[in-house]
Structure 1
Amino acid sequence: MADNVDDANNMAELHLAAELAKAKPVLPPLTGHCFYCHTPTTERFCDADCRDDYEREQRKIMMRKRG
């Protein structure tokens, strides 16, 4: 039998999953250039460092929007 704590944990998990689903970034279409440093590439990012920096900046922007 579930108690109040279990019910609260289940609700928190559902809420977190819903918020994470809304927070997924939408990447623009491929342009032939890295989204972060604008180096010519066939991928969205020229390397993992640019990808990580881009994602970090996007999280900062989202946090500023949320307050």
Structure 2
Amino acid sequence: MADNVDDASDMIELHLAAELAKAKPNLPPLTGSCYYCDALTDERFCDADCRDDYERLQRSVQMRKRG
């Protein structure tokens, strides 16, 4: 039978898993080209500038959806 410490530990574990799932970014799948400029690459983005621009664009889309 579980005691209070076990129950609290289980609750903390569930809470932590939920928070980590929310924090995990939704990355697009690898396609062989940059998601922002379509340049050929083995990664999702050809450089940090394209990654930053893509993330900025995604944030602005989310902001428009929220109102």
Unaligned stretches of 5+ residues in structure 2: 1-18
TM-score by length of 2: 0.63
Identity among equivalent positions (%) equals 70
The one-letter amino acid paired with 1:49 is: D
Q: Rg: which structure is higher?
A: 2
Unaligned stretches of 5+ residues in structure 1: 1-17
Q: Which residue in 2 is equivalent to 1:34?
A: 34
Q: Over aligned residue pairs, what C-alpha RMSD do you find?
A: 1.6
1:25 Cα offset (Å): 4.3
TM-score by length of 1: 0.63
Aligned residue runs from structure 1 range 21-60, under 5 A = 21=22, 25-60=25-60
1:28 Cα offset (Å): 2.0
